[in-house]
Amino acid sequence: MNDGVELAPAVQSILDSADDRPGGAERVSVDARSLDEAFAAADADGRVPVIAEVKPTSPTTEGERTEDPVALAEAMVRGGAAALSVLTEPTHFGGSVENLERVRAAVDVPVLRKDFLLRTEHLDVAESDVALLIARFLETDEADSLEAMHAAALERGFQPLVEVHTRAELERAVSVDAEYIGVNNRDLAELVVDLGTFEDLAPHAPDHVTLVAESGIGNPEDVRRMRDAGADALLVGSAIMADGDVEANTRELVSA
Ligand SMILES: O=P(O)(O)OC[C@@H](O)[C@@H](O)c1c[nH]c2ccccc12
């Protein structure tokens, strides 16, 4: 599929199930909480802008956290998270639209819907402040184009975060005028993480873009490394969801 590089079997299976999931019946209209303001507020009081991710499990995680997602989300906000990300992918990440809706109702910070959205009608399944659009999966015959998805997300009031992993994907994100670009340090073909990915791509992003470093950020040193490379914000899941106190895990990274 797409560039000819085979995807990890887990990722191919995620995409196949995403392709089978129905869209929403009606077009949503979102009154989004500003991501820029949330990041600026964090910066202003000395917190690193972190998007903390409620991810009960994943193909690269052992075990599953079974606490109430709302309790986890509230702990992340207490720990200083500027925004949250909630998995809605049901079959491989233990997520749900219900989790997203409950979390968004419980907190004041912007919430990202983390899923594999392939067609515009998939945007209509749930309201969120930010919608993730993964460039790599929006260039196949089965999916709508990145351009169409980006325009459709804006029309509905979402702040689209375009996820890229290569220079070519970054160029495509820039060509659709993406204001928010996430560089995923995890290669979805092999599921390996390399923080050098962000360092390599960040210098090629235009200055006006808000850049998010995604995946593989495990400790305060990684946070500083990504900030030094130009990350305006960080998206962190596993290190915050790992054993222990989610609030303390969040605070440790936010204070790096
Ligand atoms: O758990 P990590 O390594 O901190 O990564 C979080 C987030 O970046 C990761 O969950 C992610 C990035 N892009 C995705 C696309 C789909 C599902 C998950 C993801």
**Averaged pLDDT, 41-63:** 90
Q: Right CATH number for 9-21+32-254 from 3.30.70.270, 3.30.1360.70, 3.20.20.70, 3.40.1260.10? A: 3.20.20.70
pLDDT higher for 66 or 180? 180
pLDDT, residue 9, reads 87
For every residue of 100-131, which 3-state class applies, written as one string? HHHHHHHCCCCEEEECCCCCHHHHHHCCCCEE
Q: Where are the domains of the chain?
A: 9-21+32-254
Proportion of the chain above pLDDT 70, given as a percent: 98
- Whether residue 246 contacts residue 239, with contact meaning beta carbons closer than 8 Å, is answered with no
ipTM over cut 0.95: yes
Ligand 1 atom 8: the closest Cα is on which residue?
Answer: 215
Residue of 12 and 145 predicted with greater confidence:
145
- Residues enclosing ligand 1, CB less than 6 A? 53, 55, 114, 134, 163, 184, 214-217, 235-239
Task: Confirm whether pTM is higher than 0.80.
Answer: yes
Between these two residues, 220 and 92, which has the higher pLDDT value? 220
**Who wins on pLDDT, 51 or 59?**
51
User: How many whole angstroms from 153 Cα to the centroid of ligand 1?
Assistant: 20
3-state SS, residue 235: strand
Cβ-count burial 54-93 (b if 16+ within 10 Å, e if not): bbbbbeebeeebeeebbebbbbbbebbbbbbbbbbbbebb
Say how many Å lie between the CA of residue 28 and the centre of ligand 1.
Answer: 25
- Residues whose CB falls within 8 Å of the CB of residue 100, separated by 6 or more in sequence, listed in order: 86, 88, 111, 113, 126, 128
pLDDT of residue 4: 56
* Mean pLDDT of all residues belonging to the chain: 94
| φ, ψ (nearest 5 deg) of residue 113 | -90, 115
Per-residue confidence (pLDDT) for residue 1, from 0 to 100: 42
pLDDT digits (tens, 9 = 90+) for 171-225: 999 999 999 999 999 998 888 999 999 999 999 999 999 999 999 999 999 999 9
Residue 55: the pLDDT is: 86
Ligand 1 centroid distance, CA of 90 (Å) = 15
Instruction: Report which ligand 1 atom has the smallest distance to the Cα of 236.
Output: 4
Q: What is the pLDDT of residues 192-204, one digit of tens each?
A: 999 999 999 999 9
pLDDT at 3: 53
